[in-house]
Protein backbone atom coordinates (compact mmCIF):
# COMPACT_ATOMS: atom_id res chain seq x y z
CA UNK A 1 0.00 0.00 0.00
CA UNK A 2 1.44 3.33 -1.09
CA UNK A 3 0.20 6.81 -0.29
CA UNK A 4 -1.73 8.66 -2.96
CA UNK A 5 -0.52 12.02 -4.22
CA UNK A 6 -3.25 13.71 -2.16
CA UNK A 7 -2.16 11.90 1.01
CA UNK A 8 1.50 12.81 0.51
CA UNK A 9 0.57 16.37 -0.34
CA UNK A 10 -1.52 16.80 2.81
CA UNK A 11 1.20 15.25 4.97
CA UNK A 12 3.81 17.50 3.36
CA UNK A 13 1.70 20.61 3.89
CA UNK A 14 1.57 19.83 7.61
CA UNK A 15 5.38 19.87 7.63
CA UNK A 16 5.63 23.01 5.47
CA UNK A 17 5.64 26.68 6.35
CA UNK A 18 2.77 29.03 5.58
CA UNK A 19 3.94 29.38 1.95
CA UNK A 20 3.96 25.61 1.46
CA UNK A 21 7.77 25.41 1.56
CA UNK A 22 9.32 22.34 3.14
CA UNK A 23 12.47 22.70 5.24
CA UNK A 24 15.78 22.53 3.38
CA UNK A 25 17.79 19.31 3.72
CA UNK A 26 21.31 19.87 5.11
CA UNK A 27 22.81 20.70 1.71
CA UNK A 28 25.50 22.80 3.37
CA UNK A 29 27.01 19.54 4.62
CA UNK A 30 27.03 17.94 1.15
CA UNK A 31 30.37 18.43 -0.59
CA UNK A 32 28.72 17.43 -3.86
CA UNK A 33 25.96 20.06 -3.69
CA UNK A 34 26.76 22.48 -6.53
CA UNK A 35 25.14 25.61 -5.10
CA UNK A 36 25.68 27.82 -2.08
CA UNK A 37 24.16 30.91 -0.64
CA UNK A 38 20.63 31.69 0.46
CA UNK A 39 18.38 29.14 -1.23
CA UNK A 40 15.05 27.64 -0.25
CA UNK A 41 12.69 24.92 -1.41
CA UNK A 42 9.95 25.70 -3.89
CA UNK A 43 6.39 25.66 -2.55
CA UNK A 44 4.94 22.20 -3.15
CA UNK A 45 2.37 22.26 -5.94
CA UNK A 46 -0.85 20.27 -5.51
CA UNK A 47 -1.41 16.89 -7.21
CA UNK A 48 -2.70 16.90 -10.78
CA UNK A 49 -5.50 14.79 -12.26
CA UNK A 50 -2.99 12.67 -14.16
CA UNK A 51 0.66 12.57 -15.13
CA UNK A 52 1.51 14.45 -18.32
CA UNK A 53 1.85 11.86 -21.11
CA UNK A 54 5.41 11.00 -22.04
CA UNK A 55 6.42 11.71 -25.60
CA UNK A 56 5.93 8.68 -27.80
CA UNK A 57 3.34 6.91 -25.65
CA UNK A 58 1.79 6.06 -29.02
CA UNK A 59 4.58 4.40 -31.04
CA UNK A 60 3.25 6.15 -34.17
CA UNK A 61 4.27 9.48 -32.59
CA UNK A 62 7.57 8.31 -31.07
CA UNK A 63 10.39 10.73 -31.96
CA UNK A 64 12.98 8.06 -31.28
CA UNK A 65 11.34 5.54 -33.63
CA UNK A 66 11.12 8.27 -36.29
CA UNK A 67 14.75 9.27 -35.81
CA UNK A 68 15.91 5.66 -35.73
CA UNK A 69 19.67 5.15 -35.54
CA UNK A 70 20.56 8.28 -37.52
CA UNK A 71 22.48 9.72 -34.54
CA UNK A 72 23.82 6.39 -33.23
CA UNK A 73 27.53 5.94 -32.53
CA UNK A 74 27.18 2.15 -32.23
CA UNK A 75 24.49 -0.45 -32.92
CA UNK A 76 23.80 -4.13 -33.24
CA UNK A 77 20.72 -5.95 -34.52
CA UNK A 78 18.53 -4.98 -31.60
CA UNK A 79 20.20 -2.07 -29.71
CA UNK A 80 21.97 1.19 -30.32
CA UNK A 81 23.85 3.87 -28.39
CA UNK A 82 23.45 7.57 -29.10
CA UNK A 83 25.03 10.66 -27.53
CA UNK A 84 23.29 13.84 -26.48
CA UNK A 85 22.75 16.22 -29.41
CA UNK A 86 25.61 18.45 -28.23
CA UNK A 87 28.52 18.35 -25.77
CA UNK A 88 27.85 18.71 -22.06
CA UNK A 89 30.06 18.94 -18.98
CA UNK A 90 30.71 15.30 -18.08
CA UNK A 91 33.35 13.44 -20.13
CA UNK A 92 30.89 10.87 -21.53
CA UNK A 93 27.09 10.86 -21.64
CA UNK A 94 25.62 8.11 -23.81
CA UNK A 95 22.15 6.63 -24.04
CA UNK A 96 21.22 3.02 -24.84
CA UNK A 97 18.00 2.31 -26.74
CA UNK A 98 16.36 -0.82 -28.14
CA UNK A 99 15.67 -0.47 -31.86
CA UNK A 100 12.09 -1.62 -31.32
CA UNK A 101 9.61 0.49 -29.39
CA UNK A 102 9.38 -0.95 -25.88
CA UNK A 103 9.37 0.33 -22.34
CA UNK A 104 10.96 -1.70 -19.57
CA UNK A 105 7.66 -3.20 -18.46
CA UNK A 106 6.71 -4.55 -21.88
CA UNK A 107 10.17 -5.47 -23.14
CA UNK A 108 10.33 -9.02 -24.57
CA UNK A 109 12.31 -11.47 -22.51
CA UNK A 110 15.02 -11.96 -25.10
CA UNK A 111 15.80 -8.23 -24.97
CA UNK A 112 15.69 -8.13 -21.17
CA UNK A 113 18.16 -11.03 -21.16
CA UNK A 114 20.54 -9.03 -23.35
CA UNK A 115 20.28 -5.87 -21.29
CA UNK A 116 22.42 -6.92 -18.34
CA UNK A 117 25.45 -8.02 -20.37
CA UNK A 118 25.06 -4.93 -22.56
CA UNK A 119 25.10 -2.60 -19.55
CA UNK A 120 28.34 -4.22 -18.43
CA UNK A 121 29.89 -3.95 -21.91
CA UNK A 122 29.06 -0.28 -22.19
CA UNK A 123 30.35 0.48 -18.71
CA UNK A 124 33.60 -1.36 -19.42
CA UNK A 125 34.03 0.45 -22.73
CA UNK A 126 33.53 3.85 -21.09
CA UNK A 127 35.87 3.07 -18.20
CA UNK A 128 38.53 1.87 -20.65
CA UNK A 129 38.67 5.39 -22.13
CA UNK A 130 40.71 6.33 -19.07
CA UNK A 131 40.39 9.11 -16.45
CA UNK A 132 36.87 7.86 -15.63
CA UNK A 133 36.07 7.55 -11.92
CA UNK A 134 32.60 6.03 -12.22
CA UNK A 135 29.86 5.42 -14.76
CA UNK A 136 26.37 6.10 -13.45
CA UNK A 137 23.75 3.91 -15.13
CA UNK A 138 20.36 5.54 -14.89
CA UNK A 139 16.87 4.80 -16.09
CA UNK A 140 14.90 8.03 -15.89
CA UNK A 141 11.82 7.53 -17.99
CA UNK A 142 9.58 10.55 -17.52
CA UNK A 143 10.46 12.25 -20.81
CA UNK A 144 10.25 9.66 -23.55
CA UNK A 145 8.23 6.44 -23.58
CA UNK A 146 10.82 4.61 -25.73
CA UNK A 147 13.08 2.74 -23.26
CA UNK A 148 16.40 4.48 -22.77
CA UNK A 149 19.19 4.02 -20.26
CA UNK A 150 21.65 6.77 -19.43
CA UNK A 151 25.37 6.20 -18.99
CA UNK A 152 26.82 9.27 -17.30
CA UNK A 153 30.55 9.07 -16.63
CA UNK A 154 32.31 11.34 -14.19
CA UNK A 155 35.97 12.17 -14.20
CA UNK A 156 38.18 10.52 -11.58
CA UNK A 157 39.64 12.74 -8.86
CA UNK A 158 37.00 15.47 -9.02
CA UNK A 159 35.38 14.64 -5.69
CA UNK A 160 32.58 17.20 -5.93
CA UNK A 161 31.11 15.37 -8.92
CA UNK A 162 30.54 11.99 -7.23
CA UNK A 163 27.06 10.58 -6.79
CA UNK A 164 23.67 11.47 -8.18
CA UNK A 165 24.40 15.20 -8.38
CA UNK A 166 26.80 14.39 -11.24
CA UNK A 167 23.72 14.82 -13.43
CA UNK A 168 23.51 18.46 -12.26
CA UNK A 169 27.26 19.01 -12.59
CA UNK A 170 26.82 17.90 -16.22
CA UNK A 171 24.87 21.15 -16.72
CA UNK A 172 27.30 23.28 -14.68
CA UNK A 173 30.72 22.20 -15.96
CA UNK A 174 31.65 23.87 -19.25
CA UNK A 175 30.73 21.70 -22.25
CA UNK A 176 33.50 19.59 -23.76
CA UNK A 177 35.20 21.21 -26.76
CA UNK A 178 33.44 19.94 -29.88
CA UNK A 179 36.48 18.12 -31.31
CA UNK A 180 37.24 16.36 -28.02
CA UNK A 181 33.58 15.33 -27.71
CA UNK A 182 33.59 13.82 -31.21
CA UNK A 183 36.93 12.05 -30.67
CA UNK A 184 35.73 10.57 -27.37
CA UNK A 185 32.51 9.30 -28.93
CA UNK A 186 34.43 7.76 -31.85
CA UNK A 187 36.81 6.08 -29.42
CA UNK A 188 33.90 4.74 -27.40
CA UNK A 189 32.15 3.46 -30.55
CA UNK A 190 35.31 1.58 -31.59
CA UNK A 191 35.71 0.05 -28.14
CA UNK A 192 32.07 -1.07 -28.13
CA UNK A 193 32.40 -2.56 -31.62
CA UNK A 194 35.45 -4.53 -30.48
CA UNK A 195 33.10 -6.81 -28.53
CA UNK A 196 30.29 -6.90 -31.13
CA UNK A 197 28.06 -4.69 -33.21
CA UNK A 198 29.12 -1.86 -35.49
CA UNK A 199 30.71 1.53 -34.92
CA UNK A 200 28.96 4.32 -36.84
CA UNK A 201 31.85 6.79 -36.44
ZN1 LIG B 1 9.79 4.41 -30.11
Q: Which of 115, 117, 121 is nearest to 97 (CA)?
A: 115
Q: Determine the 3-state secondary structure of 167 from DSSP.
A: helix
Residue 12 and residue 18: Cα distance in Å, rounded? 12
Distance (Å) from CA 81 to ligand 1 centroid: 14
Q: Give me the residues near ligand 1 (ion), CB cutoff below 5 Å.
A: 62, 64-65, 101, 146
Each residue's pLDDT tens digit, 86-128: 999 999 999 999 999 999 999 999 999 999 999 999 999 999 9
Distance (Å) from CA 102 to ligand 1 centroid: 7
Distance (Å) from CA 163 to ligand 1 centroid: 30
| Helix, strand, coil percent values for the chain (each to nearest 5) | 35, 15, 50
pTM over 0.85: yes
Is there a contact between 137 and 153 (Cβ–Cβ < 8 Å)?
no
Q: What radius of gyration do the chain's Cα atoms show?
A: 20
Strand partners, 135: 153
pLDDT of residue 141: 87
Amino acid sequence: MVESAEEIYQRALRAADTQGRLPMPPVGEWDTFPFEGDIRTRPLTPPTEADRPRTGEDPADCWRCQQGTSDAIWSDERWFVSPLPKPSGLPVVAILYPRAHHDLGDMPRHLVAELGPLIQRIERAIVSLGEIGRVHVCRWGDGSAHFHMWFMARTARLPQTVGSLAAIWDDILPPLPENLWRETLADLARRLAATGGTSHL
